[in-house]
Structure 1
Amino acid sequence: MSDFFSKAIIDFCIALGVVVGGSMLAGIGSVIALKSPVDTMRHIAEHLKIWAIVAAVGGTIDPLRIIETNFMLGNLPPVFKQLMLILVSFLGAHLGTELIQWICRARG
């Protein structure tokens, strides 16, 4: 079971890192392009969320194939594990998005 938790922690951190890192680099790029980094970072964080989840769970169709195959065979524990990994990845991506939103919030 510790292997599952290790994978869950890694997936969470990957999704968080994709959103935060991508948004920060987009902010740097927007400064170079003389655009508003705050608007760019907010926009990119929202649009990177789904790609962060995909990157964290493997980036291929394999997670969905695992769910489908095991569900059809009635083998539910792998299905629940895969769904939990997707949920954990979503939480990491969402935390990254909220963190970027918090960093870019309007002062006032």
Structure 2
Amino acid sequence: MLNSLLTKAIIDFLIAFGVVVGGSLLAGIGSVLVLASPAAYMLETATKLKIWAIVAAVGGTIDPMRYIESNMLEGHLSPVAIQIFYIICSFLGAHVGTELVKAICKGAS
């Protein structure tokens, strides 16, 4: 149980991290093609992608919330805590990705 919990938490973290970093890097490449400032586009994209990275990592916006609601109403708090843990891990991945992009862009400007 603990092994699968940590495995999913790490995967969720890395998915959210990858969405933010990958999307920002591609936005930077795209901005070069249109002769715009890569750092500005990368920062803006990282900020905008943060919430969508969390959504992508946990598997959608409605299903995790429905899962939390149904288990909470039935009095099963352990699955609720696990789902919230996955959301927190996804948030941390997206946040670390955003901070990495900020650090990269700070050095570029």
Q: How does 1:15-26 map to 2 (within 5 A)?
A: 15-26=16-27
**Larger helix percent:** 2
Instruction: Please report the TM-score for the alignment, with normalisation by the length of structure 1.
Output: 0.96
Q: How does 1:20-99 map to 2 (within 5 A)?
A: 20-99=21-100
Structure 2 portions without partners, runs of 5+: none
Q: 1:107 to 1:13 in 2, by over 3 A?
A: closer
Match of 1:8 in 2: 9
Of residues 59-68 and 24-33 in structure 1, the stretch that sits farther from structure 2 once superposed is 59-68
**In structure 1, how many angstroms separate the alpha carbons of the residues matched to 2:79 and 2:26?**
36
**In structure 1, how many angstroms separate the alpha carbons of the residues matched to 2:9 and 2:106?**
30
**In structure 1, how many angstroms separate the alpha carbons of the residues matched to 2:54 and 2:108?**
30
> How many corresponding residue pairs?
108
| Letter of the 2:41 counterpart | T
Deviation for aligned residue 1:60:
4.1
Say whether the 8 Å CA contact 2:14–2:93 is kept in structure 1.
yes
Task: Flag as ranges the 4+ runs of structure 1 deviating above 3 A.
Answer: none
Deviation for aligned residue 1:8:
0.3
Deviation for aligned residue 1:78:
0.2
Deviation for aligned residue 1:106:
5.1
**In structure 2, how many angstroms separate the alpha carbons of the residues matched to 1:92 and 1:100?**
12
**In structure 2, how many angstroms separate the alpha carbons of the residues matched to 1:55 and 1:82?**
14
Percent of pairs identical after alignment?
Answer: 60
**In structure 2, how many angstroms separate the alpha carbons of the residues matched to 1:89 and 1:107?**
27
Instruction: Please report the TM-score for the alignment, with normalisation by the length of structure 2.
Output: 0.95
